[in-house]
Amino acid sequence: MFLRNVEATIQDFMELSLQLSRRLRTLVRVLRDYRSFNSFLAELLAPAKILSISVVWLPDGTEETLVTVDDTSRLQLQVDEIVELVRDFKGKNIRVEKASRR
């Protein structure tokens, strides 16, 4: 669930998520729909930490946002679900990758 133009604390969102999850008997996450795309991604991907966000221009003229996170196993949704949510709500194509060890 995404909320726009709502003044609420993180605790308010957590409480709403908990109440909806109990009532619907399924996991519900309530996220703030930030104007800043990077802030939106940070909240959507939490508790994983974003290490970098890069825009890649593809040969066909489209762009894709490459998001590198510290650990994809910490994501609360599957990567393909995250990609679909971002495309549906923000109209952007993203790719989520785990940082490689050097």
Domain ranges of the chain: 1-33, 48-102
Task: Decide if 19 contacts 13 (C-beta within 8 A).
Answer: no
- If you average pLDDT over each of 6-10, 24-28, 63-67, 77-81, which comes out highest? 63-67
Please give the CATH number for the structural domain made up of 48-102. 3.30.300
For residues 65 and 41, give the distance between their C-alpha atoms in angstroms, rounded to a whole number.
11
Whole-model pTM: value is: 0.76
Helix or strand run (H / E) with residue 79? helix 79-90
Name the percent of the chain lying above pLDDT 90: 49
Does residue 95 have a pLDDT over 90? yes
